[in-house]
């Protein structure tokens, strides 16, 4: 069932993005008087096809990893005399530029629409208040401490932990300092803090900016009371039950799930622990042996039990939303920021400041699509917006085969007054195709490596 929902979310996300992108090409081509022969979503054999009154064939194909709009063009097939004025290659260079640019532009417009919907519907988030700051971390050295609410990072206003993470990602691989502005959550004046950077997380695989700086979110005390027990886990095997309150582990009193219970279990893979629990007013002794579980490069103990959920205090919860009019510039600003971040990340990958192993392919996209769909409408819409921006940016890169490569050819033709030679365009096509195939194979390799990890 989980695999089915992931596949469905992926098909919906990719299908929407490809349809919008290709519709951008299609819509402008029609406005320029170009005859569109085929509008296909996906590649390979057509699962469904139909025609409109202008003779355009519409198709939904078997492989949903892209799409295309095929236009009348003398370079691809002979064109009848009476249709020459509808051929793509007979249109002015400005019209051809408009048709090619329309696809990526449509992706950016979709991102604006998605961010606008998120802004209007609103999101529920947690106030960016610091929890314990580990000693020796950059945050501790700068003077940050538990109970401070972060209000600004590098001059950008902060309303959630998501905002903080995005601002920190911008600084990966850099040297200098990050400026945080924070104030006591209980009330007080704002103060500026500077965290020093030196080739910060340069080349790291899967960097965690907040953990690297020592920034943790405030959490309420979680009583060590068991809320759920997996039927096939070590906890169930030992006899633990939902509702049990853990009093001690190996004779040491415990009072907090995250501080006392989780570390003790994780540090005791395949080692017997002696628990005392309170159950229905009585104290019960239970022997528990955590099973080993890989967590990154280390093995930790795992028992298949979770704590009883605890509600956050109302003053720690935030609802962020905007009226439909104000949401328009908010969505446009968000789209601009994410576009700039995508370009910056690509540049840092090329220069080695960010590891190329962070490049993701279709497997990771599918996993994120499934997870965001489960998390709710806001998460899925945000995922659609981020992916749409990535698709728009990717297609505008000056690589032959992509829209950006065609734009380079047409702009060069506009400046020179004549097109580039067929030989140069053919070389560019071969180089561009090799680059795209190589990058895709590398991204898929990264995906498989993550699955293996």
Catalytic positions, written as ranges: 22
Rounded distance, CA 96 to CA 106, Å? 16
For 198-244, the DSSP string reads SSTTTT-SS--HHHHHT--B------SBEEEE-TTSHHHHHT--TT-
Looking up tokens 């051809």 gives: 96
Looking up tokens 């039990």 gives: 305
Alpha helices (H) along 310-375: 327-351, 362-375
Return the biggest CA–CA distance within the chain.
94
Looking up tokens 């590398």 gives: 442
Rounded distance, CA 253 to CA 225, Å? 13
Neighbours of 148 (CB within 10 A): 24
Rounded distance, CA 240 to CA 431, Å? 62
Rounded distance, CA 41 to CA 43, Å? 7
Edge-first strand listing for the sheet containing 156-157: 156-157, 148-153, 176-184, 191-197
The C-alpha torsion from 290 through 296 and 298 to 304, rounded to 10°, is 0
Q: Are strands 36-51 and 252-253 parallel, antiparallel or unpaired?
A: unpaired
Looking up tokens 């040491």 gives: 252
Sign of CA dihedral 296, 302, 304, 310: negative
DSSP β-bridge partners for residue 285 = 276
Instruction: From residue 228, give the alpha-carbon distance in Å to each of 224, 260, 303, 308.
Output: 12, 18, 11, 7
DSSP β-bridge partners for residue 245 = 225, 278
Sign of CA dihedral 46, 50, 56, 59: negative
Looking up tokens 């002794």 gives: 285
Q: Which helix (H) or strand (E) holds 103?
A: helix 93-121
């Amino acid at each position: 069932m989980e695999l089915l929902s992931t596949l469905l979310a992926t098909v919906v996300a990719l299908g929407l993005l490809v349809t919008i992108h290709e519709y951008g090409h299609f819509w402008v081509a029609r406005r320029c008087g170009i005859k569109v022969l085929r509008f296909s979503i996906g590649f390979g054999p057509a699962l469904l096809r139909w025609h409109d009154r202008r003779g355009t064939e519409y198709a939904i194909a078997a492989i949903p990893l892209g799409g295309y709009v095929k236009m009348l063009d003398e370079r691809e097939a002979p064109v009848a005399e009476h249709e020459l004025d509808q051929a793509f290659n007979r249109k002015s260079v400005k019209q051809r530029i408009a048709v090619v640019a329309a696809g990526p532009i449509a992706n950016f417009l979709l991102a604006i629409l998605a961010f606008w919907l998120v802004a209007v519907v609103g999101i529920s988030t947690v106030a960016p208040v610091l929890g314990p700051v580990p000693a020796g971390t950059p945050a501790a050295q700068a003077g940050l401490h538990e109970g401070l609410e972060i209000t600004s990072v590098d001059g950008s206003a902060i309303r959630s932990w998501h905002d903080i993470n995005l601002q920190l990602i911008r600084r990966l691989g850099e040297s200098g300092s990050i400026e945080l502005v924070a104030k006591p959550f209980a009330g007080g004046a704002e103060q500026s803090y500077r965290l020093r950077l030196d080739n910060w997380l340069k080349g790291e695989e899967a960097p965690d900016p907040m953990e690297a700086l020592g920034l943790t979110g405030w959490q309420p005390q979680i009583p060590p009371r068991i809320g759920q027990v997996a039927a096939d886990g070590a906890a169930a095997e030992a006899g633990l039950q939902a509702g049990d309150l853990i009093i001690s582990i190996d004779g040491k009193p415990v009072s907090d799930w995250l501080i006392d219970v989780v570390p003790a279990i994780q540090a005791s893979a395949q080692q017997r622990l002696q628990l005392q629990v309170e159950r229905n007013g009585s104290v019960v002794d239970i022997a528990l042996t955590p099973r080993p579980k890989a967590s990154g490069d280390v093995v930790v103990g795992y028992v298949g039990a979770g704590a009883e959920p605890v509600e956050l205090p109302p003053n720690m919860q935030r609802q962020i939303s905007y009226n439909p009019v104000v949401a328009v510039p908010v969505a446009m600003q968000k789209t601009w920021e994410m576009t700039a971040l995508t370009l910056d990340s690509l540049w840092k990958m090329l220069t080695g400041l960010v590891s190329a192993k962070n490049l993701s392919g279709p497997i990771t996209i599918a996993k994120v699509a499934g997870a965001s769909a489960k998390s709710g409408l806001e998460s899925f819409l945000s995922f659609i917006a981020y992916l749409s921006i990535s698709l728009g940016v990717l297609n505008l890169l000056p690589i032959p085969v992509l829209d950006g490569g065609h734009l380079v050819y047409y702009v060069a033709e506009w400046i020179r007054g004549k097109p580039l030679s067929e030989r140069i365009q053919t070389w560019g096509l071969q180089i561009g195709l090799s680059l795209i195939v190589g990058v895709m194979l590398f991204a898929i390799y990264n995906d498989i490596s993550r699955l293996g990890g």
